[in-house]
């Protein structure tokens, strides 16, 4: 398998901005047990144009709660769980949404 051979996987969508970014964020959150903020910064450093749509961000926030709630280790959910070295040349900014984030998934009729 790709994992066994330390291979790489290309994740893509039409523009590489929302759908593929969302999949990558969810994968990192689940496999590395990191918060959305850290996964977002990690992916953004590698693909600066990512911008998951509003609905995807809401779903990622819900997924973050599930992932961190199922974590067996307190250390895994802490800020010390990282994806890799932080670049000192890249300024870190707070992860702030400029729009309201849904508290629960909407009910469609």
- Beta-carbon contacts of residue 33 (< 8 Å; ≥ 6 apart): 67, 68, 71, 73, 76, 77, 81
Summarize pLDDT for 29-56 with one digit per residue, the tens: 999 999 999 999 999 999 999 999 999 9
Query: Around Cβ 49, how many Cβ atoms within 10 Å?
Result: 10
pLDDT 10s per residue in the chain (109 long)?
A: 888 998 998 999 999 999 999 999 999 999 999 999 999 999 999 999 999 999 999 999 999 999 999 865 545 445 555 676 655 444 444 344 444 444 455 555 5
| pTM exceeds 0.75, yes or no | no
Q: In CATH, what is the architecture of 1-70+93-101?
A: Alpha-Beta Complex (3.90)
Sorted by where each begins, the domain ranges of the chain are: 1-70+93-101
CA–CA separation, 69 and 94 (whole Å): 23
Q: Check if the beta carbon of residue 52 is closer than 8 Å to that of residue 18.
A: yes
47 φ/ψ sector (left φ>0, alpha ψ -120 to 50, else beta): beta
Q: What are the residue numbers of the active site?
A: 13
Q: Please report the pLDDT score of residue 107 as a whole number.
A: 54
């Amino acid at each position: 398998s790709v994992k066994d051979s330390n291979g790489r996987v290309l994740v893509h969508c039409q523009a590489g901005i929302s759908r593929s970014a969302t999949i990558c964020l969810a994968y990192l959150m689940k496999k590395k047990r990191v918060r959305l903020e850290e996964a977002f910064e990690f992916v953004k450093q590698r693909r600066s144009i990512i911008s998951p749509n509003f609905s995807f961000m809401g779903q990622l926030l819900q997924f973050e709660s599930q992932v961190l709630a199922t974590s067996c280790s307190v250390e895994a959910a802490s800020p010390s769980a990282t994806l890799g070295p932080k670049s000192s040349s890249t300024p870190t900014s707070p992860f702030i949404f400029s729009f309201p984030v849904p508290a629960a998934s909407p009910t469609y009729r």
